[in-house]
Chain A
């Protein structure tokens, strides 16, 4: 693909952003310039990063960068739309003298800041990482880091939305399990790239099992599922043995069954999944409201700003997919899924072209992390699979998730460069 075509794609993304933010400017009901400023900053960030990537790292795959940015822009547009709504609801509550008025939020601006940090990290990785495959020798550092991040919230965690997976440090909160994923992939890649026999699998198996146990204890079932997905995918790539996958699946089902019997919160999830409408007033309230929002949107949606995300729980994070679908329709939902798949494809393509196994495994690990996360949360909010609370990568509000996703993409970008040399 020639440079001209790439520039054209970039301009199309800018045009999309322009339409979105202009829309926000018009629906917000006052003359605030925030949407225009947000848009300006995004354009500057993207153009600058594109320039650097193109200028100095000609061989890299710019598609990864552009699709990631497009998804982030969709996220920021929608998060700012939620800010407008929350401000309106807050003002209404103030007028009505409600004791606890609903909060004013600043998702849009915060997300832009995380985006800036993420992109910077992305650029730093591709600039300072000279020889990626040398990183394989720090296996035990990754092992230690994974363990630390995994257990962090079990001991210092705070419970938010029913899962104890947040840690507060100096007033900032973050999800250690998100960072744990990054190190898990690095560890698995360095442990599996010289795979010869099943003996090489014992150490990784122990680590993965311990991580899963911590996740279940923290009630972070979504992350547990992602961990499992990543590990199995990487195991298969490294070993090419289908029987290992089968063993893993059997073990997974046995483990799930035992957890199902042991933990009420898991039984509840399954019960909700099977019969969401039977408990619509209580346990499955969130899922039912999510399904209603999805249905309300229909094919084309109600138009940006015309849906009712206020009835959807966690509308900026876990459930953002359905709130987007209510406003912009199933077609937008499909578009987002297609973008995620293209992103996944480009990342896997980098893995295919990589020269060494370590790089390959890392690229596969990170790509499957993003894809699995998309499948699990979109499947969850549409009740295709039991709901487990995780973020939709790149779109959901939240610094931890956005930053580590850009980190992962940066690494893949770097790997894609090596492939062409």
Chain B
């Protein structure tokens, strides 16, 4: 009777279906489960966070900036004492709007204290409430506020780094917002065209303008022998063909000049010309400064800055890139790193924000030390570049940054850009460090649409340095 045979066949088909289901579930658990668990739709994470009193974020002088306070037995509220000053860098945590900035990066740490066996047992016995680790940041709250106030009503960003360690001393992005009233302001924050939620310091991409000449200078000193003794002819205009040329600011012509003067006068003609000579070598130098690469950091996400691979057949693009225009784009963090590398004998330190992790009783749990990212130039060359940058402030375009006794070094920039095809007032840039002999702070300041002369950013930067050094 073939009914029996049929039954056996059906049995096998069902067996295969069961096996397929098994394999599918196994596949899901191995390859997909992690993604599912970590998705923002997983409410369990909020339950877990609600069970512990979140740790505090301190500045380098142990001033609490973000702190959790209990309002009753089961609920706590996050008090952002850094208000609008630290909104983007420290971030916020909200069940409805998610979690950003340092709060996100250190979520695991802040929301769960790692205890040894003994501590776990004592906590269980004493019925203590669970707490998270606290973290000590490298931020200097006074400097942070100073940067914020100095930028004023402008849009822009400022970053201060300790060039020797990579500690981020201040990081400000404007316009800003107060995370304490996030729920009330959310809609207007989203609709605001100036995107206050964006951290311009790490995620804003701008043409770097003349500040980029620092990189071109490093490349020239590295690749062209005896370039500093060469004399350049600057007629005020560098022509590529009938339609394309670049010219100096205000059409100035500097005549026969040396490289150092071309730098402190910020000659587009000379540096554009260097770009034509350097070609791919400039591309390589830019990459040694982490253009087109991700700057790794445990504490912050930094957007990739971009330097184009130009073709030799397009001299216009090569020259534009060498003076930080065209399609070169950099984050303020990238530019701060360039200044810091020069200040630190050519060595790039990894920028970081958290120096210590504390236990809930504020005793030390873990120290975080600085890391080297790479070397952008030799000490010889960095010494020369330092000197050149000092001259910018003493005799050149950066004179408005000169404050007696501080020995500030720097480079200015005005970056042309277009919005919807229309020429806009250029961005005002300054990157620099101080003091000349033994730098302990490197800064980058950008004022969006700051105007034709770069004094705005330069004077803000010098005031920031001034407030730090005194």
Q: Residues of A with Cβ closer than 8 Å to B? A: 233, 236-238, 240, 277, 280-281, 285, 288-289, 291-292, 294-296, 298-299, 308, 311, 330, 333-334, 337, 340-341, 344-345, 348, 351-352, 357, 360, 364, 368, 371, 375, 378-379, 382, 384
- Pull 8 A–B residue pairs with CB atoms less than 8 Å apart, ordered by A: A240-B5, A280-B41, A292-B42, A295-B36, A308-B44, A341-B14, A344-B11, A378-B21
Q: Least Cβ distance of B213 to chain A in Å?
A: 47
Bound together, the chains give a CA A331 to CA B36 distance in angstroms of: 19
In the bound complex, do residue A240 and residue B36 qualify as a contact, i.e. CB atoms below 8 Å apart? Answer: no
Among B7, B17, B39, B41, the residue within 8 A (CB) of A348 is B7
In the bound complex, do residue B41 and residue A237 qualify as a contact, i.e. CB atoms below 8 Å apart? Answer: no
Q: Least Cβ distance of A285 to chain B in Å?
A: 8
In the bound complex, do residue A237 and residue B18 qualify as a contact, i.e. CB atoms below 8 Å apart? Answer: no
Q: Least Cβ distance of A282 to chain B in Å?
A: 11
Q: Residues of B with Cβ closer than 8 Å to A? A: 2-11, 14-15, 17-18, 20-22, 24-26, 28-29, 32-37, 39, 41-44, 47
Closest residue on chain A to residue B34 by CB atoms:
A295
Bound together, the chains give a CA A78 to CA B33 distance in angstroms of: 23
Q: Least Cβ distance of B152 to chain A in Å?
A: 39
A289 contacts across to B, CB distance below 8 A:
41
In the bound complex, do residue B14 and residue A344 qualify as a contact, i.e. CB atoms below 8 Å apart? Answer: yes
Summarize B's interface: helix, strand, loop or mixed. helix
Bound together, the chains give a CA A340 to CA B15 distance in angstroms of: 11
Most chain B beta carbons < 10 A, residue from A237, A308, A364, A382:
A237
In the bound complex, do residue A384 and residue B24 qualify as a contact, i.e. CB atoms below 8 Å apart? Answer: yes
Among B3, B7, B25, B35, the residue within 8 A (CB) of A330 is B25
A333 contacts across to B, CB distance below 8 A:
25
In the bound complex, do residue B14 and residue A294 qualify as a contact, i.e. CB atoms below 8 Å apart? Answer: no
Bound together, the chains give a CA A348 to CA B18 distance in angstroms of: 15
Which 6 residue pairs across A and B have the least CB separation, nearest first?
A295-B33, A295-B36, A295-B37, A384-B24, A237-B6, A291-B36
Supposing A236-B6, A351-B7, A357-B3 touch, asked if A296 and B44 sit within 8 A by C-beta, the answer is yes
Bound together, the chains give a CA A375 to CA B18 distance in angstroms of: 7
Among A236, A281, A295, A337, the residue within 8 A (CB) of B21 is A337
B11 contacts across to A, CB distance below 8 A:
344-345, 348
Q: Least Cβ distance of A238 to chain B in Å?
A: 8
Bound together, the chains give a CA A237 to CA B32 distance in angstroms of: 38
Q: Least Cβ distance of A275 to chain B in Å?
A: 14
In the bound complex, do residue B14 and residue A368 qualify as a contact, i.e. CB atoms below 8 Å apart? Answer: yes
In the bound complex, do residue B24 and residue A382 qualify as a contact, i.e. CB atoms below 8 Å apart? Answer: yes
Bound together, the chains give a CA A104 to CA B42 distance in angstroms of: 24
Bound together, the chains give a CA A285 to CA B40 distance in angstroms of: 12
Bound together, the chains give a CA A378 to CA B21 distance in angstroms of: 8
Bound together, the chains give a CA A215 to CA B5 distance in angstroms of: 32
Bound together, the chains give a CA A389 to CA B15 distance in angstroms of: 23
Closest residue on chain A to residue B27 by CB atoms:
A384
Bound together, the chains give a CA A291 to CA B409 distance in angstroms of: 57
In the bound complex, do residue A295 and residue B4 qualify as a contact, i.e. CB atoms below 8 Å apart? Answer: no
B33 contacts across to A, CB distance below 8 A:
294-296, 298
In the bound complex, do residue A368 and residue B10 qualify as a contact, i.e. CB atoms below 8 Å apart? Answer: yes
Bound together, the chains give a CA A237 to CA B9 distance in angstroms of: 9
A236 contacts across to B, CB distance below 8 A:
6, 9-10
A378 contacts across to B, CB distance below 8 A:
21
Closest residue on chain B to residue A280 by CB atoms:
B41
Q: Least Cβ distance of B72 to chain A in Å?
A: 10
Among A237, A291, A371, the residue within 8 A (CB) of B3 is A237
A345 contacts across to B, CB distance below 8 A:
11
In the bound complex, do residue A341 and residue B44 qualify as a contact, i.e. CB atoms below 8 Å apart? Answer: no
In the bound complex, do residue B41 and residue A382 qualify as a contact, i.e. CB atoms below 8 Å apart? Answer: no
A280 contacts across to B, CB distance below 8 A:
39, 41
Supposing A375-B21, A379-B21 touch, asked if A237 and B36 sit within 8 A by C-beta, the answer is no
A299 contacts across to B, CB distance below 8 A:
29
B4 contacts across to A, CB distance below 8 A:
352
Q: Least Cβ distance of B54 to chain A in Å?
A: 20
Closest residue on chain B to residue A237 by CB atoms:
B6
Most chain A beta carbons < 10 A, residue from B25, B32, B43:
B25
Among A281, A285, A348, A382, the residue within 8 A (CB) of B10 is A348
B37 contacts across to A, CB distance below 8 A:
292, 295-296
Q: Least Cβ distance of B44 to chain A in Å?
A: 5
Bound together, the chains give a CA A334 to CA B39 distance in angstroms of: 25
Bound together, the chains give a CA A311 to CA B43 distance in angstroms of: 7
Q: Least Cβ distance of B188 to chain A in Å?
A: 22
Q: Least Cβ distance of B71 to chain A in Å?
A: 13
Q: Least Cβ distance of B200 to chain A in Å?
A: 29
In the bound complex, do residue B10 and residue A360 qualify as a contact, i.e. CB atoms below 8 Å apart? Answer: no
A298 contacts across to B, CB distance below 8 A:
29, 33
Bound together, the chains give a CA A299 to CA B2 distance in angstroms of: 42
A288 contacts across to B, CB distance below 8 A:
36, 39, 41
Bound together, the chains give a CA A299 to CA B47 distance in angstroms of: 22
Q: A292-B42, A295-B37, A375-B18 are in contact. List 12 more A-B contacts (CB 8 A).
A: A233-B10, A236-B10, A240-B6, A292-B37, A299-B29, A308-B47, A330-B29, A351-B7, A375-B17, A382-B25, A382-B28, A384-B21
Bound together, the chains give a CA A351 to CA B41 distance in angstroms of: 47
Supposing A295-B32, A337-B18 touch, asked if A311 and B10 sit within 8 A by C-beta, the answer is no
Closest residue on chain B to residue A295 by CB atoms:
B33
Closest residue on chain B to residue A285 by CB atoms:
B41
A360 contacts across to B, CB distance below 8 A:
3, 7
B7 contacts across to A, CB distance below 8 A:
237, 348, 351-352, 360, 364
Bound together, the chains give a CA A230 to CA B34 distance in angstroms of: 37
Q: Least Cβ distance of A385 to chain B in Å?
A: 9
A295 contacts across to B, CB distance below 8 A:
28-29, 32-37
Q: Least Cβ distance of B400 to chain A in Å?
A: 52
A330 contacts across to B, CB distance below 8 A:
25-26, 29
Closest residue on chain A to residue B8 by CB atoms:
A352
Bound together, the chains give a CA A366 to CA B34 distance in angstroms of: 38
Closest residue on chain B to residue A345 by CB atoms:
B11
Q: Least Cβ distance of A249 to chain B in Å?
A: 13
Q: Least Cβ distance of A421 to chain B in Å?
A: 17
Bound together, the chains give a CA A113 to CA B15 distance in angstroms of: 33
In the bound complex, do residue A291 and residue B29 qualify as a contact, i.e. CB atoms below 8 Å apart? Answer: no
Q: Least Cβ distance of A330 to chain B in Å?
A: 5
Bound together, the chains give a CA A237 to CA B21 distance in angstroms of: 24
Bound together, the chains give a CA A288 to CA B39 distance in angstroms of: 10
Bound together, the chains give a CA A281 to CA B98 distance in angstroms of: 14
B43 contacts across to A, CB distance below 8 A:
308, 311
B2 contacts across to A, CB distance below 8 A:
240
Q: Least Cβ distance of B23 to chain A in Å?
A: 10
Bound together, the chains give a CA A295 to CA B29 distance in angstroms of: 6
B5 contacts across to A, CB distance below 8 A:
240
Closest residue on chain B to residue A382 by CB atoms:
B25
Among B14, B39, B47, the residue within 8 A (CB) of A277 is B39
A238 contacts across to B, CB distance below 8 A:
3
Among B10, B20, B21, B44, the residue within 8 A (CB) of A364 is B10
In the bound complex, do residue B3 and residue A292 qualify as a contact, i.e. CB atoms below 8 Å apart? Answer: no
Bound together, the chains give a CA A379 to CA B42 distance in angstroms of: 21
Bound together, the chains give a CA A16 to CA B14 distance in angstroms of: 28
Bound together, the chains give a CA A351 to CA B6 distance in angstroms of: 11
Closest residue on chain B to residue A334 by CB atoms:
B22
Bound together, the chains give a CA A341 to CA B14 distance in angstroms of: 9
Bound together, the chains give a CA A348 to CA B5 distance in angstroms of: 12
A296 contacts across to B, CB distance below 8 A:
33, 37, 42, 44
B14 contacts across to A, CB distance below 8 A:
341, 344, 368, 371, 375
Closest residue on chain A to residue B9 by CB atoms:
A236
Closest residue on chain B to residue A329 by CB atoms:
B29
Bound together, the chains give a CA A364 to CA B6 distance in angstroms of: 10
Q: Least Cβ distance of A233 to chain B in Å?
A: 6
Closest residue on chain A to residue B14 by CB atoms:
A371
Bound together, the chains give a CA A237 to CA B11 distance in angstroms of: 11
Bound together, the chains give a CA A296 to CA B22 distance in angstroms of: 18
Closest residue on chain B to residue A384 by CB atoms:
B24
A308 contacts across to B, CB distance below 8 A:
43-44, 47
Q: Least Cβ distance of A71 to chain B in Å?
A: 15
Bound together, the chains give a CA A281 to CA B42 distance in angstroms of: 11
